[in-house]
Amino acid sequence: GENVEQHPSTLSVQEGDSAVIKCTYSDSASNYFPWYKQELGKGPQLIIDIRSNVGEKKDQRIAVTLNKTAKHFSLHITETQPEDSAVYFCAAGPSGNTPLVFGKGTRLSVIA
């Protein structure tokens, strides 16, 4: 089955700097790669996703890149702000009606 590895487990950046979180996956059949942000006491919120026919996607300060050959994808947050502090999860979705497999999460702290 699918296995998703996520690094780093914790990340501290200064406000205004960029943050990068990386994930690798094992199942070449996976074709959907979302990123979730989870704040304390809340459920995960989808912030951006990418599908296997696209190499990069951007939404304001957030971007995701996908390298299908290497089976890895990354989240990039530019101009970080204190409200970006949260736990971020990557996930991979195999084709069909199968559920997502999640990475172990990255706790991002943005220091003002």
Partner 1 sequence: SAVISQKPSRDICQRGTSLTIQCQVDSQVTMMFWYRQQPGQSLTLIATANQGSEATYESGFVIDKFPISRPNLTFSTLTVSNMSPEDSSIYLCSVRTANYGYTFGSGTRLTVV
The residues that touch partner 1, with contacts defined as CB under 8 A, are 32, 34, 36, 41-46, 49, 51, 89, 91, 93, 97, 99-105
The closest of 42, 38, 41 to 89, measured between CA atoms, is 38
Smallest gap from Cβ 26 to partner 1, in A, equals 16
Nearer to partner 1, 52 or 78 (CB): 52
CB-based contacts of 98, cutoff 8 Å, min separation 6: none
Give the residue with the Cβ less far from partner 1, 58 or 79: 58
**How many CB atoms are located within 10 Å of the residue 77 CB?**
25
Least separation in angstroms between residue 90's CB and partner 1 is 10
CB 105 to partner 1: min, Å: 5
How far, in Å, CA of 42 to CA of 70, rounded? 33
Instruction: Tell me how far, at minimum, the Cβ of 100 lies from partner 1, in Å.
Output: 6
CA distances 22 to 4, 74, 96, Å, are: 10, 4, 25
The Cα 51–Cα 37 span in angstroms is: 18
Task: Output 44 or 66, the one with its CB closest to partner 1.
Answer: 44
In the complex with partner 1, which residue's Cβ is closer, 78 or 102?
102
